A = this chain, B = another copy of it.
């Protein structure tokens, strides 16, 4: 990984006791799990180890760039594990780390709330 992970909290914010002012668990989640694709990728990986090309086909709307960069950030945060299989053509397998499994309740809760919201307010969402 040449690419350096870039922390999302602004640099001009004061730092207190080792963390930026008002940095909290929610901001951390938004930083680590937020964005358009990461939770969807994680959800897919809860189904098991997936090769790059399989992930791509599982989430067809995602661009390769976003898929790769999301995977790289998740790997940086120790949530996913990247494993190269020496083969021709090359294979790279992505899976959730043991730590990555800890995202499960987050995913479940969000999914549950979201599905409930859709069923109550689909008219507002899909207007």
Contacts and interface: CB of A to CB of B under 8 A. Distances in A.
Contact of A76 (B114, B117, B124): B124
Contacts of A32: 114, 117, 125
Chain A binding surface, main DSSP class: helix
A29 B124 contact: no
A85 interface: no
A43 B5 CA distance: 28
Given A29-B111, A32-B125, 7 more contacts: A19-B122, A20-B126, A24-B111, A26-B43, A28-B115, A28-B118, A106-B113
Lowest 6 A-B CB distances belong to which pairs? A25-B114, A28-B114, A25-B115, A25-B111, A29-B114, A109-B109
